[in-house]
Amino acid sequence: MTFQQLKYFIEIVNAGSINKAAEGLFITQPSLSNRVRELENEVGATLFKRTSKGITLTTDGIEFLGYARQAVEQMSLLEQRYLNGHPSRRLCSISTQHYAFAVNAFVNMVKKSGADEYEFTLRETRTYEIIEDVKTLRSELGILYMNPFNKKVIEKLLRENGLLFHPMFTVKPHIFVSTTNPLAGKEYVTAQDLEDYPRLSFEQGEYNSFYFSEEIQSDSFSKKSIHVSDRATIFNLMIGLNGYTISTGIVSADLNGDNITAIPLQTDNYMEIGWISQSRVQLTRQASMYLEELKKVISDYGIQIND
């Protein structure tokens, strides 16, 4: 087994296909396919499942990826330290529900990485797709929430896909509204207070189940309901239509400005925010750095992080 074989293997995983990986590596597709077969023969396991839609990692492939990443990372450090090698290109991919604190942590991680070259990805996406991203290792980790309503469904889906949920913190739900909204000055709001205001929520596409909603109490009826696909639009509608959304209560003035405020929602419900990962894959240093920055950002808002 060679260092180059491991690099090729990781590049295929990152690219999502042998064809794309071959293009990025400037070698032919048949040549790269042969290298993969040689590696599989050498380790005595099938690492990729090949289908008409492309390739995915097998269970053995997922486990092998964890070791391969560690080996390549350590070899790159040795080359830099003793052979004046070129710093390795930093890679990291995160998938998350639409949380400003997740973006804040990503910004801090990139700034502190100190890498001359990197290729980082942050996907603010739908709940089901976050799970799929981590399942297929398109992302190293994903950020989402659970509560009494969706917990059994989400946990079952994670379990079936070999994923783990790592709780980070628990908060009471808040509504986000414009500072000009008539509700903005209230100490707290009730469901009755919200009846005449448009409820804003992130659309979940094909998997538009209440269990995958990013907003709690999504199964309750609303006279006015608007679905959007991104945070910029949802904030614009808060201002333009006096709409509201339900989330964690963590508002980032750096990202969202000073015209959005959070008000506690009177409810017995709660949101448990955490991160998901592959149970058989160890995180890279870059992903671990992101988690450390995430914990710092959350702590800066005065929220206690789970041990």
- pLDDT per residue as tens, the chain (307 positions): 888 888 888 888 877 788 888 888 889 989 998 998 999 999 999 998 877 767 788 888 888 887 888 788 777 767 666 666 665 566 789 999 999 999 999 999 999 988 777 888 999 999 999 999 998 888 999 999 999 999 999 999 999 989 999 999 999 999 999 999 999 989 999 999 999 999 999 999 888 888 999 999 888 889 999 999 998 899 999 999 999 999 999 987 776 668 899 999 999 999 999 999 998 788 888 899 999 999 999 999 999 998 6
Using CA atoms, how far apart are residues 171 and 248, in angstroms rounded to an integer? 6
Q: What is the pLDDT of residues 79-121, one digit of tens each?
A: 666 666 665 566 789 999 999 999 999 999 999 988 777 888 9
Q: Specify the 3-state DSSP secondary structure of 41.
A: helix
pTM above 0.85, yes or no: no
Query: In this structure, are residues 75 and 3 in contact, taking their beta carbons and an 8 Å threshold?
Result: yes
**Structural domains of the chain in order of their starting residue, each with its CATH number:** 3-165+278-300 (1.10.10.10), 170-272 (3.40.190.10)
Handedness of CA 55, 56, 59, 63 (dihedral sign): positive
Query: In this structure, are residues 223 and 196 in contact, taking their beta carbons and an 8 Å threshold?
Result: yes
